[in-house]
Chain A
Amino acid sequence: MPAEIEYTTLSGISGPLIFVEGVKGVGYGDIVEIRSGSSELRIGQTIEVDEYRAVVQVFEGTSGLSVKGQRVTFTGRPLEIPVDRDMLGRVFDGLGRPIDGAPQVISEGTMNVNGLPINPWSREYPRDFIQTGISAIDGMNTLIRGQKLPIFSGSGMPHNLIAAQIARQARILTAQEEFTVIFAAMGVKYDVARFFIDSLEESGVLTHSAIFLSLADAPSIERLITPRVALTLAEHLAFEEGMHVLVILTDMTNYCEALRELSSSRGEIPSRKGYPGYLYSDLASIYERAGRLKGHKGSITQMPILTMPSDDISHPVPDLTGYITEGQIVLERELFNKGIYPPIAGLPSLSRLMKDGIGEGRTRRDHAPVAAQLFASYAKVKRIRALASIVGEEELSELDRIYLDFGSAFEEQFLRQGHEENRSIEQTLEIGWRMLSVLPKDELYRIAREDIQRYYIPQGRGA
């Protein structure tokens, strides 16, 4: 490695990118230090190099930079951050530098923020049920330790309240372990971040949480690093220190917009809605950092939050996220407008890891069939409602009307619950059976006869 040379040969600035000419021996992905004037230091990374020129993305943005008078140093190292248990209870900026006034973190080692891909062979399949105390999740879209389960929301909906409630209430039935929470904010407003910090503080978990903030007023390019910094610490805590980490990433839509901005300033060929063709792979490099590893005690559970522009689930950000994550919790405008909290949509929500984390010995034998039956029956309610809106309720058959009763009972009693209400899985299943008992027995075709015999409430109808 040649001694660090300072270059002053900027040939251009475009968006977050600077172009440095006449460079030698610069590696792809190296970290770059840019000094302008006497003091100010910015950090960047090379994203393209050839024999004469390097293209550098500047994390702090390029505002205030000029082609003259900048001194650029190529460090020959990838972006690394210190990681240590002492980072819990602290607040950092989007690049992992402390902003809470307390001193720099002293750590034994540093880790590359990009991490390394986990060998699929080395993964342990996640199957520990996490009780969140929210019926719509525990009963029908169960969260599993080591899962990546995003919340798809829309503007104005209570995704933050739900995420905070999960962070407070989540626990494993079989053990008394608590979660460590890592919270990364990308491009959100200060009050959103404040809400999370306060909520963590009230429940007493702030002292073992780490907070990374790249707020709306920070340069957008910084957001590309923030989730990676948070996950790098999470990996250290989970797989070196054996902790169970819940990582909340909000808002992934802002992250994707920052990526689009960078891609566009590089002049890349866009794919859907101007997002780069590699958005899927880039998101995967974040989301796939959740999971469990064979021979390691800890786990990383990810809960990314994203807002769907105009509630459109087919928008590239929720769409590609849904293809990578292990399910999704979708918030529904219609339920929200009815005043139901949490407005978790019955049908499009899904937990892919649910099947192996529930059932006999984990939750209860009838859990999976009850969930399947609730989904199937609620789907029928939606069909009947669509019909009723045309022909009127009076024209419906008797059975259809019973279904409508089931539908409103399901929304008002099963879905709806308080912000502080923490239901056990038994309570959730019990409410589920109460709802199903509104329907005649013959309609419960997804449930085995012996379970119907045991749990069905014969007087349920019309109750």
Chain B
Amino acid sequence: MDGMMTGKVIAVNGPIVRAVGMNGIKMFDIAEVGIDRLIGEIIRLVGDVAVIQVYEDNTGLKPGDEVLSYGRPLSVLLGPGLIANIYDGIQRPLVGISEACGSYIRKGIKLSPLDRGKKWEFRPLVKEGSDVGQGAILGEIPESMLVMHRVLLPPHISGRLTRIAPPGGYTIEDEIYTLETASGTYRGKLAGYWPVRSARPCRVKKKPFIPLVTGQRVIDTFFPIARGGTAAIPGGFGTGKTMTQHALAKWCNADIIVYIGCGERGNEMTDVLTDFPKLVDERNGRPLIERTVMIANTSNMPVPAREVSIYTGVTIAEYYRDMGYSVAVMADSTSRWAEALRELSSRLGDMPAEEGFPPYLATRLAEFYERAGFVETLSGKDGDITIIGAVSPPGGDFSEPVTQHTSRFVRCFWALDKVLADARHYPAISWIDSYTEYLHDIEDWWKILDSQWLPVRNEVMGILLEDHRLQQVVKLVGSDALPPSQQFVLFVAETIRNAFLQQNSFDPIDKFCSPEKQLKLLKTILDLYRKGAVLLQAGFSVKDISALDVVSEMVRLKSEIPNQEARRIDEYGIRLGQRLDSLKEAKG
């Protein structure tokens, strides 16, 4: 066969296999190993010896077994049918595997990632005879009720379109168009391969300026992320990394979600799989699954496939970005990916750096997060990829290498706090340890809602920081020893925690909070703070204020007033103001 190389296995050490006899094989080419033809990738070449990492369980593999390679790099198949699908780390369809071999994943199984028989309703958008450049949109296919799939000319190919199929049903095997290029005739289909380890090209990367609206108050208001940005969610076990990732995947306003379950629990993926078809996107009334692609390489699936799963995911994200969509990638968890890297590097006998991780950990992390961005695509559209990576530091200690390196490459850091999680304050995002660098990038967007957004946000943040400082004192002397003005700061900060920061993602109303509602809640709290401060000056005690029914009602606004009725918060605000004023008058 054309370009096929064969060699033989000489040594097996876990998923790392050494083989000889494959002259001309290149780094990161795919190899098929042994009688089961297990899929592997060339990760090192030493003289005549090729080192292969095998993506499947290789028990029973023997020295002398055959190795094949076609000299192609590890690639994903990109085309219609990705949406609502679930793949393992090397893009094998898990639904197909379950149909072929039952509840367990048997090794050596090979299935096409996309349905080759399904007919897609194609509509051309370009006329025959026109000149088309790389990445041009040639036609479209309704892939789901939410996603219009745009058929793209692959990167690095351009020329004159001599033929394009008329509207109609086509499979991904059918030839759809013919192009005369400088180097000859090119025949294109609806789907094509792309190597996972190379980023897909774009025209230019631009500065992000639109926030990714997540509906989570602590994020949108205090630590917002821009579309095309990068964020990390570090937290020890039980602090709610996965729950936060799930909430973002459900409610953020991206067009496409790529959810990568990388070395995590099987039941968590099942949770996504059972939840997303039922949950409905408020903006369009369609199930969330219709905009979601899932990659599941759970902790008990082969470790090397875990290493590659994040690249598989981000390559699919780039494909939809190139169609002009806004894509959010959830990688849960990048620490498991780093551990896979460590395990493989240790089997290769690499000299370790910190805590046994290989020295190239930082480079690999940087490369991965660099695939995010707000770009002008090859066809001139705006598209973006936001990457949100969970980090699972051992012992919840943020000084470990993965958290430390990640924090250098992301611009948004949502630190999860064990104390908050223990008190079941979710999302347990710490307002002390978290940060975002996107605040000023997206300020203009919020200004359209309210020119005072940033000052209001900063003033409330100031109360929280003041509270944090005072809590150190309170720990030593108790709150009664503080002057009334400081006691009032403590009271308002507690109100902010309970009425604003804490959010129940299972409550039908509270799960998603619109930016308008967030802003109204925030301003109401600030009103309480300002008016209350005046009352204190007039000789009232904190208790006089906190004992008012209207004040204790504040914690219920978030779960009793739906987004569409956010103006009811204004009505509440008027009542609050009246009660506070009447307090003053009563004393006269």
Q: Which A residues are closer than 8 A to B by beta carbons?
A: 24-30, 47-51, 76, 78, 114-126, 146, 239, 268-272, 277-278, 280-281, 284-285, 288-289, 291, 293-296, 314-316, 319-320, 322-324, 326-328, 347-348, 350, 352-353, 355-356, 368, 372, 375-376, 379-380, 386-387, 390-391, 395-397, 442, 445-446, 449
A156 to chain B, nearest CB (A): 23
Q: How far is the CA of A114 from the CA of B104 in the complex (A)?
A: 12
Determine whether B11 belongs to the interface, using a CB cutoff of 8 Å to chain A: yes
Contact flags (1/0) for B80-108 with A, using CB distance below 8 Å? Answer: 00000010000000110110001111100
Given A48-B13, A120-B270, A347-B422, A326 and B265 touching (CB < 8 A)? yes
Question: Which one of B18, B57, B62, B352 contacts A25 once the chains associate, using CB atoms below 8 Å?
Answer: B62
Question: Which one of B238, B303, B340, B498 contacts A322 once the chains associate, using CB atoms below 8 Å?
Answer: B238
Q: How far is the CA of A375 from the CA of B419 in the complex (A)?
A: 11
A322 proximity list for chain B (CB < 8 A): 236-238
Q: How far is the CA of A386 from the CA of B261 in the complex (A)?
A: 40
Say whether A288 contacts B342, CB under 8 Å: no
B274 proximity list for chain A (CB < 8 A): 125
Given A48-B12, A78-B60, A123 and B303 touching (CB < 8 A)? no
Considering the complex of A and B, which 4 residue pairs feature the smallest CB-CB distances, nearest first?
A314-B395, A284-B299, A29-B59, A50-B11
Say whether B12 contacts A28, CB under 8 Å: yes
Q: How far is the CA of A240 from the CA of B261 in the complex (A)?
A: 28
A50 proximity list for chain B (CB < 8 A): 10-12, 18, 63
Question: Which residue on A lies nearest to B298, using beta carbons?
Answer: A120
B476 proximity list for chain A (CB < 8 A): 390-391
Say whether A122 contacts B98, CB under 8 Å: yes
Contact flags (1/0) for B315-337 with A, using CB distance below 8 Å? Answer: 00000000000000000000010
Given A28-B59, A118-B300, A375 and B422 touching (CB < 8 A)? yes
A445 proximity list for chain B (CB < 8 A): 498, 555-556
A366 to chain B, nearest CB (A): 14
Q: Which of B361-369, B430-438, B477-485 contacts A (4 or more CB under 8 A)?
A: B477-485
B423 proximity list for chain A (CB < 8 A): 347, 375-376, 379-380
Say whether B478 contacts A316, CB under 8 Å: no
Say whether B303 contacts A281, CB under 8 Å: yes
Contact flags (1/0) for B103-125 with A, using CB distance below 8 Å? Answer: 11110000000000000000000
Say whether A285 contacts B300, CB under 8 Å: yes
Say whether B238 contacts A288, CB under 8 Å: no
Q: How far is the CA of A322 from the CA of B340 in the complex (A)?
A: 18
B424 proximity list for chain A (CB < 8 A): 372, 375-376, 379, 446
Interface size, B (range) = 35 or more
Say whether B478 contacts A269, CB under 8 Å: no
A17 to chain B, nearest CB (A): 13
Determine whether B309 belongs to the interface, using a CB cutoff of 8 Å to chain A: no
Say whether A319 contacts B270, CB under 8 Å: no
Question: Which residue on B lies nearest to A323, using beta carbons?
Answer: B237
Say whether A120 contacts B296, CB under 8 Å: yes
Question: Which one of B62, B105, B394, B552 contacts A319 once the chains associate, using CB atoms below 8 Å?
Answer: B394
Given A347-B422, A348-B238, A445-B498, A277 and B267 touching (CB < 8 A)? no
Of the candidates B10, B95, B267, B336, the one having the most CB atoms from chain A within 10 angstroms of its own CB is: B267
Say whether B266 contacts A288, CB under 8 Å: yes
A124 proximity list for chain B (CB < 8 A): 270
Say whether B300 contacts A114, CB under 8 Å: no
List 20 additional contacts besides A269-B352, A319-B395, A396-B478; criterion CB under 8 Å: A27-B62, A28-B59, A49-B11, A50-B63, A116-B57, A116-B106, A118-B103, A120-B266, A125-B267, A239-B103, A270-B356, A293-B103, A315-B395, A323-B237, A328-B238, A355-B506, A375-B423, A379-B424, A387-B475, A395-B478
Say whether B102 contacts A117, CB under 8 Å: no
B270 proximity list for chain A (CB < 8 A): 120, 123-125
Say whether A350 contacts B298, CB under 8 Å: no
Determine whether B290 belongs to the interface, using a CB cutoff of 8 Å to chain A: no
Question: Which residue on A lies nearest to B242, using beta carbons?
Answer: A352
Q: How far is the CA of A368 from the CA of B556 in the complex (A)?
A: 17
Say whether A268 contacts B298, CB under 8 Å: no
Question: Which one of B10, B60, B265 contacts A28 once the chains associate, using CB atoms below 8 Å?
Answer: B60
Determine whether B69 belongs to the interface, using a CB cutoff of 8 Å to chain A: no
A327 proximity list for chain B (CB < 8 A): 238
Say whether A277 contacts B342, CB under 8 Å: yes
Q: How far is the CA of A78 from the CA of B61 in the complex (A)?
A: 11
Q: How far is the CA of A328 from the CA of B265 in the complex (A)?
A: 14
Question: Which residue on A lies nearest to B547, using beta carbons?
Answer: A442
Question: Which residue on A lies nearest to B261, using beta carbons?
Answer: A120
Say whether A397 contacts B98, CB under 8 Å: no
Q: How far is the CA of A324 from the CA of B265 in the complex (A)?
A: 6
Determine whether B269 belongs to the interface, using a CB cutoff of 8 Å to chain A: yes
Sample (13) of A-B pairs whose CB atoms are under 8 Å apart: A27-B62, A28-B61, A48-B12, A49-B62, A50-B12, A123-B266, A280-B339, A281-B263, A314-B397, A319-B236, A320-B394, A395-B481, A449-B556
Q: How far is the CA of A77 from the CA of B296 in the complex (A)?
A: 30
Q: How far is the CA of A76 from the CA of B62 in the complex (A)?
A: 10
Determine whether B577 belongs to the interface, using a CB cutoff of 8 Å to chain A: no
Say whether A288 contacts B95, CB under 8 Å: no
